[in-house]
Amino acid sequence: MNDTPRFRPFPDAEQDVRTSQAVPETPQTLNPAYRLAFDDLDFIKRDALRPVRLQLELMKTEILLTERQIASTVVMFGGARIPAPDKPSGKPGLDSLSHYYTQAQEFARLMTLRSVAKDNREHVICTGGGPGVMEAGNRGAAEAGGISIGLNIVLPHEQAPNSYVTPDLSFNFHYFAVRKMHFLMRAQAITIFPGGFGTLDEMFEALTLIQTRRMKGIPILLFGRSFWERVINWDALAEAGTISPEDLNLVHYVETAEEAVECIDTWR
């Protein structure tokens, strides 16, 4: 193979966008109409440019993950409000779920040890980048000496990445739909811990894609049978005929990090 750099008759993209010379300040050059389109945020924010913004959100994360050669991920969904055992919230309901923080942290640690052995390219932990179960996942990955992904989302209330996300794998999204695509595009397994509306939304999105065969089947592991059986009556859905009996096999219950790892290893 010839490693000689290919001759480029035109400047590369970075060189091409640089302003070649200063322009005089005139009514024409100072008017927003004169701005280059890609450098005009007011223009990019227009309603008509929403398809472009969607495409940019999809492409930026995809390009950066590809550059890092990340081939597969293990996705962790779960409640942002679930506290670490040593930092109780003072709310009995949430504090009773704090052991799931511990299990999430340990699961991420165990999976990341494997990821590190494969040069941080396979089975990289991927969370929503926020607090609670998400923090536990990124924290466990960091404790194992590996990398992890955080896919944050712009919300009305203050939202910031937890401190355990690998900095150059900390992404931010405006569009929920694009964020959910990135959760699933490299997923080799999905773990779902107790959570609220967001967790349920992410879980049912994945189940629907697998049920309709828009996505290959992967292990979907629900931590905490007692929690989930109180929240969702899967058997009632099958008995009513709104899902098929075989759809009940799409989810599997686990209680511990070790059990989850074993399920992934033995999944058909």
Cα torsion angle, 162, 164, 168, 169, sign = negative
Residue 145: how many other CB atoms lie within 10 Å: 12
pTM: 0.92
**How many whole angstroms separate alpha carbon 157 and alpha carbon 259?**
36
The confidence score (pLDDT) of residue 10 equals 77
Instruction: Express each pLDDT in 161-204 by its tens digit.
Output: 999 999 999 999 999 999 999 999 999 999 999 999 999 999 99
What strands lie across the sheet with 73-77, from one edge to the other? 170-173, 148-153, 124-127, 73-77, 187-192, 220-223, 252-254
What residues form DSSP beta bridges with 191?
A: 76, 221
**How many whole angstroms separate alpha carbon 206 and alpha carbon 210?**
6
Burial bucket for residue 223 (CB in 10 Å: 0-12, 13-18, 19+): buried
Altogether, the residues listed in the chain come to a count of 268
The confidence score (pLDDT) of residue 192 equals 98
Q: Which residue has the higher pLDDT, 155 or 104?
A: 104
CATH architecture for the domain at 48-266: 3-Layer(aba) Sandwich (3.40)
Instruction: Express each pLDDT in 6-62 by its tens digit.
Output: 677 777 777 766 655 678 899 999 999 998 898 899 999 999 999 999 999 999 999
Return the ∠ at Cα 83 (arms to 190 and 206), rounded to 5°. 20
